Structure 1
């Protein structure tokens, strides 16, 4: 069975508005289950691919500082 996780995740949320997307992300993080990590990764990939260089630098700074606090 060939499952394309990227395609499935994008299909499942492609019609969602911002509030629904936020709820999806927050819910996945609050549950803390490993099975949600691939979906969150796909969502991050979409964000990254549609961000300009300035936004990417900002995200990397946020990531770097967040990792140092963990």
Structure 2
């Protein structure tokens, strides 16, 4: 299996700074970067993690 680096561009950083989370206990930087990436790139972030539903972002889809 070939590994590739996941690039993080300026638009992802800008989206990261705009994320709104209504749960102060959720500080997972990996989750935040993946949500920001989905937001910036117009993608859906689909998850079963209930903590992600505290992010009020249209790109987050909790199942």
| TM-score in terms of structure 2 length | 0.29
Structure richer in strand, relative to its length: 2
Q: How high is the TM-score relative to the length of structure 1?
A: 0.26
Structure with the higher helix share, 1 or 2: 1
Q: Which has the larger radius of gyration?
A: 1
